[in-house]
């Protein structure tokens, strides 16, 4: 794993990524014009490398597992808010 971390383009704080609760993806702009991506589930599993699907550059995400709690709650909220029909 150390050799993978040595070959990353940059180290980015998780707060600098945007998060989409529908896709559960964290994204950050890549110099090529696309975006680095990593899913919430991978971060929960301890993964810390986000990859750009267009150019294969990689960034290391700086985070603690505790940093994921707001995003996990956001996903849980969005899933439950659409699972119950609205009664008139």
Torsion from C-alpha of 24, 44, 4, 28, nearest 10 degrees? 30
> What mean pLDDT value characterizes the chain?
86
What local confidence, expressed as pLDDT, does residue 7 receive? 84
DSSP 8-state code for residue 85: P
Question: Against a cut of 0.85, is the pTM above it?
Answer: no
CATH code of residue 34: 3.10.660.10
Report the run of H or E that residue 26 belongs to, with start and end. strand 25-29
pLDDT tens for residues 8-48?
999 999 999 999 999 999 999 999 999 999 999 999 999 99
Q: What are phi and psi of 65, to 5 degrees?
A: -55, -35
Q: What residues contact residue 15 under an 8 Å CB cut-off, 6+ apart?
A: 67
Domain annotation covers residue 84? no
Domain annotation covers residue 60? yes
Residue 30 is part of which domain span?
Answer: 10-66
Confidence grade of residue 75 (pLDDT, cut at 50, 70, 90): confident
């Amino acid at each position: 794993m150390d050799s993978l971390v040595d070959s990353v383009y940059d180290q980015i704080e998780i707060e600098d990524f945007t998060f989409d609760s529908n896709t559960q993806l964290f994204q950050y702009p890549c110099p090529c014009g696309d975006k680095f991506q990593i899913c919430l589930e991978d971060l929960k599993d301890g993964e810390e490398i986000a990859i750009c699907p267009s150019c294969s550059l990689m960034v290391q995400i700086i985070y603690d597992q505790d940093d994921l709690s707001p995003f996990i709650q956001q996903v849980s909220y969005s899933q439950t808010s659409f699972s119950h029909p609205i009664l008139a």
